Amino acid sequence: MPVVRGKDIEMLFSASAIARRNLELAKDIAARDYDNLLVISILKGSFIFAADLIRAMHDAGVEPEVEFIFISSYGSGTTSGEVKVLRDIDNDVRGRDVLLIDDILESGKTLKFTRELMVSRGAKSVSIAVLLDKRTRRQTEIDADYVGFECPDYFVVGYGMDVAHAFRELPFVGVVRGEA
Ligand code: IMP
Ligand code: MG
């Protein structure tokens, strides 16, 4: 088991498995023939996935514009969870095909909120790509169009995802299993 900062990290999805899956997702996205695609990466958790996925999309012949939105959700996983925009995109989405990219789809609140925001601003279509889907945790009716992997109900870290601001830099997705 890899040891990082004195903790055992159990690897769930290796860097090479993620890279292979990103190529498949990119081909699926290319097959949809989006028009004038605007990718919106939801910060902070999706920054590494988005960076890899858009380069895989380039190899698959897709030429998106790229934006970032900083969304925070307090009390995620509870019914009182409040979602808000901490930093908005700079771009007009009216009439655009939008692809939202996030790290994990869990309760669904973050992506439901963000999708509705883009629809209300006049996006022509809003699709969703997530690296991980924790389906058993869903509290709202929402599904992603592109899912990297089904994720077991563990708190995962790495590949952009953190626990208390740590472990975002890991090149793989893993679970913290305690002291090494
Ligand atoms: P949702 O609104 O409940 O779907 O929340 C999804 C957000 O919660 C993701 O964008 C992540 O930032 C965060 N999140 C959910 N599960 C995990 C996890 O296991 N590790 C790290 N972040 C997580
Ligand atoms: Mg997030």
Mutate to test the pocket of ligand 1, among 86, 113, 161, 172 (most ligand atoms within 8 A of CB): 161
Asked if the structure places residue 119 within a domain, the reply is: yes
Neighbours of ion ligand 2 (CB under 5 A): 45
Model confidence pLDDT, tens digit, residues 71-130: 998 765 545 578 999 999 998 999 999 999 999 999 999 999 999 999 999 999 999 999
Cβ of 114 less than 6 Å from ligand 1: no
CATH number at residue 99: 3.40.50.2020
Overall domain count for the chain: 1
Model confidence pLDDT, tens digit, residues 124-165: 999 999 999 999 999 999 999 999 999 999 999 999 999 999
Whether pLDDT at 6 is above 90 = no
Q: Provide the residue type at 8 as one letter.
A: D
Asked if the structure places residue 94 within a domain, the reply is: yes
